[in-house]
Structure 1
């Protein structure tokens, strides 16, 4: 152990700042192999601790609880480490490859279901050649991509029970949501294979259809924007089931003085599900929404309720869609049915609701315009986009098609 510590100290003392790519990659490759070897040794030791009941020495009931308390590992990582130790103990070929550094701890985790008690019992009952399966899994884990390893493991597990009942997909689906104090939403879920395919297909169609020039969003941000756009499309279509006696839509309650005040106004408005948002966000939602005036008494009781008026009437929206065809933000090609009608000079600031004062903006760029960007239509009918610092977003000139150039020549 002392020699290992000395070697790690020497590695940590090496200066790698300023090294170029090839040199860094040459350093990284053996480090990854050593990482795999060390992870395999940790898993092997955890397994021996489990067999020896070592956790009892420190008053712990299991190695998973010991790892959570003494190694400060999260529950998922502690359980995974215990499973990896059990997997390596029962698959010697995989254990040997991991000890050489050829198999990562993540690959061992993917293989772990093979040695689950019920799967081992099914394999013994059917006379499966477990050493052969072990060797095959070790080779795939060491030489093939991780996704392919998972497919091989899944194929093996399904072959163990080829005549078993097809699972109900609804039993494999779950979605939980947690709302934070600022109104943001975190969620986690699980979908069966078919449900997951539908989900990916829907998101990918929107994601690939909206890739404006100069887009700096990460893949995760693009996917989240696509999910919000998918919800926008479903709400706008009006085909969702009735919710609270009305077609589902976003509801916001905001005081009149906050609605017309150009200030940000944090926590000035409340949504239908109880989230507090800023007045600026309420004005953004109101750009292409409907407004209902409600007069409240001194104790909060409604005294008068006016008719709901659309800020942008339907005939004006059709005219704006016919003129703009899609999002007018520079470099965006989002179609019109993804867009809201935006007031170039906001109606709360005295701008009128007219064709000349309107433009189509997708959900993403509508937000950008309400956070400092600006779009305007020049006298020639060309849309121009300006950054918050006052500089204009200019698109790169299109490269002529090769056939067009040859004919012109």
Structure 2
């Protein structure tokens, strides 16, 4: 890497006015090739990082998030890099041309925008020769104008679906939910091809975005975690239909003594549908929730029902959103409507419910902070993020 940096420094120092016209054009062509090769290497590296979930080192869930937060790429550009890395695994000729600098990142994106894992799977099911398309695309990309590649990719899409769209077969959809005595549930679903594809695509996107090192979960466990995360995202979005005058939400009942006890307290909280959770998990949910006081009699009868009290008032939340604007965890930047207001010192332990003791954190990083990571606001108003080993996560730090 140091040699690469030195070569770039030498290029910058070169006096362009001392070059002939032909030399300037040769230099331009060479730089295009260098940029292509560097883009290919970036794409390869990002794909490796995605597969090994390297971004977890900085507390982020995906390489797209890391590229946006740490490398300051736009959302569109970050998506392009990640998407290209995924598709090139299926098209070695295209990948080779990219690595050699003969194919541009934009050309690779022409393929990646249209061809994903679903299209590749469908092609294999239909016996379509991916190798032939790969070789044609590589040749078109290196020999023809940029626009010609789009037409070649369209030929692939036409081969996938020569008969056009099918009718909507949705009558056979069934979903049965069976709740057990401990509050856990079992699901049984029957879905048509279209509905099943949608469910698989949604869950697969979450599964593929969360592949940490040393993951020993079975595929069934990964799918279940993906389904729960999908529902969690929807609940957090606030866009689900209103249910009996209120938005659907998670309900936890826990004794005050268990809630304030610093011990974990397994089985201390009861969920709205009957399951139990630990006191530690209940404290996490209480960080930015709505608290209702219920005084119980000795026979378990409610004697007094206090009104709901929001730990974080709407006015305070507006002030925190105005100050922080997005998740303050280093490299994240998730919008405010994805975020909770986190108490830097939990209100259960005497922390004030105030602007100075509050931080805007997305759901993922709120959990991270409750499990070892730490955010602090320095006297200058800058947020700093620390790993569990107290090393700081720095944005844009150059490698040494």
Instruction: Give TM-score scaled by structure 2 length.
Output: 0.51
Which of 119, 123, 126 matches 1:148?
Answer: 123
Determine if the alignment matches structure 1 residue 331 to structure 2 residue 331.
yes
What CA distance in whole angstroms lies between the structure 1 residues aligned with 2:327 and 2:350? 24
The answer for the alignment partner of 1:349 in structure 2 is 349
Aligned to 1:194: 194
Write out per-residue CA displacement over residues 236-292 of structure 1, whole angstroms, 9 at most, x where no aligned residue. 555534435543211100011111222211110010011100111111111111000
Change (3 A) 1:280 1:193: same
* Map of 1:243 onto structure 2: 243
Q: Contact 1:233–1:337 at 8 Å: present in 2 too?
A: no
Instruction: Using the TM superposition, give the Cα deviation of residue 331 of structure 1 relative to its aligned residue in structure 2, in angstroms.
Output: 2.4
Q: Structure 1 residue 283 and structure 2 residue 258: aligned?
A: no
Distance 1:149 1:236, change over 3 A: closer
User: What is the aligned partner in structure 1 of residue 297 from structure 2?
Assistant: 297
User: Could you say what secondary structure the match of 1:307 adopts?
Assistant: coil
SS in 2 for 1:320: helix
- Structure-2 residue corresponding to 1:387: 387
Task: Structure 2: give runs of 5+ residues left out of the alignment.
Answer: 1-119, 129-157
Q: Cα 1:174–1:329, aligned 2, differ >3 Å: closer, same or farther?
A: farther
* Contact 1:225 1:364 (C-alpha < 8 Å) held by counterparts: no
State the superposition RMSD in angstroms. 4.3
* CA distance in structure 2 between the partners assigned to 1:380 and 1:234 by the alignment: 36
* Unaligned ranges ≥5, structure 1: 1-144, 400-409
SS in 1 for 2:300: coil
> Greater relative contact order (Cα 8 A, min sep 6): structure 1 or 2?
2
Aligned to 1:48: none
Contact 2:182 2:274 in 1 (8 A): no
Query: How many residues align structurally?
Result: 247
**Structure 1 contact 295–303 (Cα < 8 Å) conserved:** yes
The structure having more radius of gyration, on CA atoms, is 1
Deviation readout 1:278-318 (Å, 9 max, x if unpaired): 11111111111100000000010000011101111111112
Match of 2:170 in 1: 169
Is the Cα contact below 8 Å between 2:289 and 2:312 reproduced in 1? yes
- CA drift of 1:148 comes to 2.6
For residues 175 and 317 of structure 1, do their structure 2 counterparts lie closer, same or farther at Cα, with a shift above 3 Å needed? same
Q: For 1:169, what is the secondary structure of its paired residue?
A: coil
Secondary structure of the corresponding residue to residue 292 of structure 2: strand
The answer to whether the 8 A contact 1:264-1:279 is kept is yes
**Cα distance change on mapping 1:389 and 1:198 into 2, 3 Å:** same
Q: Structure 1 pair 306/200, CA: closer, same or farther in 2 (3 Å)?
A: same
Secondary structure of the residue aligned to 1:249 is coil
Could you tell me the TM-score, scaled by structure 1's length?
Answer: 0.50
